[in-house]
Amino acid sequence: MATVVVSAPPAQPSAAPDHHYHRRLRHILTQPTTVSIPHLKQIHAQILRSEPPPNHSLETLFLYSRLIHFSSLQDITYTSQLFNQIPNPNTFIYNTVIRAYAHSKNHKKQAFSLFQELLKNENLLPDKHTFPFVLKACAYLFALGEGKQAHAHVLKHGFSSDVYINNSLIHFYSSCGCSESSRKVFDKMPERSLVSWNVIIDSLVQMGEFEDAVRLFTEMNKWFEPDGYTVQSVIDACAGLGALSMGMWAHAYILKKCQIDASFDNLIQNSLVEMYSKCGSLRMAQQVFHMMRSRDVNSWNAMILGLAMHGEAERVFEHFTRMVDEDNLRPNSITFVGVLSACNHRGLVEKGRKYFDLMVKKYKIEPVLQHYGCLIDLMARSGQIEEALDVVSSMPIKPDAVIWRSLLSASSKQCEGLELTEEMARKVIEVEGSESSGAYILLSKVYATANRWNEVGLIRKLMSENGVSKEPGCSLIEINGIAHEFFAGDTTHPKTKEIYEFLKFVEKRVKLVGYVPEFSEATMVDEVDERKGKTLRLHSERLAVAFGLLNSKPGVPIRVFKNLRVCSDCHSFMKLISKSFNVEIIMRDRIRFHCFRNGVCSCKDFW
């Protein structure tokens, strides 16, 4: 940066400012190049010599606002000092400092405090530029109460129609998890820009309300042509829904219509890799990844997580090596979540230990619950339950319900004894509360596996007394761009009769190649075997696959997305369907992807 030279103004016979000198300072402080702190202090000193406080002119106040702006980019403490030396700051100055605090890393609380100070000043009023900065700080701090106070002042001062303020309110409420409030603000807006639409759609995606986000996007299309930011949100929603057709449409739209700069290009490409991976098209995810002009650590993370989700452990390790050696990138916490997940999905205990140690010792990354959870689940499901419990006891952070559920599930499958299983169930209930269904369901399955149906009945009775209900199984399948949703025992689909008749035919066919129902998965108490078999037949993924077999084109994989972990009986059922009907079934459950092909699953029966 060129050196800034500020010569002192000539001696003044009075306190009147030198306007020519002010123009020179104004020119320096309105340049795009950042002025260094020493030069800012030099300019500050000359302003004080030219026009000492307390009666600053509007021109001088403007110069102070520029000093505050440049100082906030480098030294927020100096910004505060500058502000405190202005005897009568106007609203513009207040806004400038509030903005500086809102954008700073450690002073966001002061943004709201300064806003309160502004409100107490009888001679000043907040304007439309004040509220977006205050709400930005509140959103970052999840300060719901303070943000609501700011919202009340928005209404009080008559800014409820301002598009920019409403966008900020939507973002604030979304950040605090208040989707209803966010949507109310949006619905009441008299005027909506493309940026308003983008904010509400993105907020719905961030809160996991993917269907609403897509629905709103469809409505937006009637009024505005989407830009890159809109389409990125749609891509993320498609990833959450498993909506491959719409995801591919969004990809094509970006290629044809959206002009995207280099910095945004990586965000889009990373989102595409994640979307294709989560929609079960690993081939397309890899194609996008390999065609990227440049890759950052997030690009590699998206690909590593996608491969891990599909059980491609060896390729995860290969990508990790390439990321470090070829691109010279340093892996972060998310990278190791992907690598440890890959080890977990394949039961590679020693590999898991190796990468966990590498993360801690070489890269000095502090493990979080996700890392511990992967390692503990890996060890427990591989039969090393005692070693897994040792890791739990040595953790510096309190284990969550996910970790206890992993141990509960592993102990139940490996017949470690009912005492340990019951203890794990108590731990889950202790963490999640007695209203959570997870521990009850797992314990019920343990008793059912041991043919201890009386205990199964007691568990069900306890669930009823505590008002606990099992989360219903739900599976989604997309045919010709239209999503069809099935719940366990669903009879609401227009083709229900046809689906159930065909499912009976499918069951007869797979029984010919060795299918035998696992009744423990039904976990019903007072039913004969035939009724238990009927319960299994009603699992949502079977209805979805039957519908897919009836309506998919030959050679097209059937993709199903399920909200719960697939049970072992349905897993066996899908393997035999893939062989009997010569069809590829790609299923994403709560944990991972299963690719059933020719009677074999990609998970190698370890999930």
The set of residues, in sequence order, having a beta carbon less than 8 Å from that of 440 and lying 6+ positions away, is 425, 429, 459, 462, 463, 468
Residue pair 525/453 in contact (Cβ under 8 Å)? The answer is yes
Nearest-10 Cα torsion for 225, 207, 560, 540: -130
For 457, what's the count of Cα atoms within 13 Å in the CB-facing half-sphere? 7
531 three-state secondary structure: helix
Q: What is the pLDDT of residues 167-208, one digit of tens each?
A: 999 999 988 989 889 999 999 998 888 988 998 999 899 888
Q: Is 553 exposed, middle or buried (0-12, 13-18, 19+ CB in 10 A)?
A: exposed
- The residues of the chain scoring below 70 in pLDDT are 1-35, 50-57, 259-264, 414-417, 434-435, 519-537
Q: Concatenated DSSP letters for 253-286?
A: HHHHH----HHHHHHHHHHHHHHHHHTT-HHHHH
Residue pair 351/343 in contact (Cβ under 8 Å)? The answer is yes
Element holding 474 (H helix, E strand): strand 474-479
Instruction: Output the six-digit token pair for 231.
Output: 């389409």
187 three-state secondary structure: helix
For 310-400, where are the alpha helices, taking DSSP H only?
A: 313-325, 333-346, 349-357, 369-381, 385-394
For 440, what's the count of Cα atoms within 13 Å in the CB-facing half-sphere? 21
Question: Which pLDDT score, from 0 to 100, does residue 75 have?
Answer: 82
Q: How far is CA 11 from CA 8, 67, 276, 388, 455, in A?
A: 9, 23, 70, 79, 96
Question: Which pLDDT score, from 0 to 100, does residue 523 have?
Answer: 47
φ/ψ of residue 588, rounded to 5: -105, 115
pTM of the model: 0.79
Residue pair 136/102 in contact (Cβ under 8 Å)? The answer is yes
Closest CA to 444 of 473, 428, 421, 414: 421
The set of residues, in sequence order, having a beta carbon less than 8 Å from that of 404 and lying 6+ positions away, is 424, 427, 428, 431
Architecture label for domain 371-470: Alpha Horseshoe (1.25)
Where exactly are the structural domains of the chain? 295-366, 371-470, 474-601
Question: Which pLDDT score, from 0 to 100, does residue 40 have?
Answer: 78
* CA distance linking residue 592 with residue 607, whole number of Å: 8
594 three-state secondary structure: strand
233 three-state secondary structure: helix
Question: Which pLDDT score, from 0 to 100, does residue 8 have?
Answer: 45
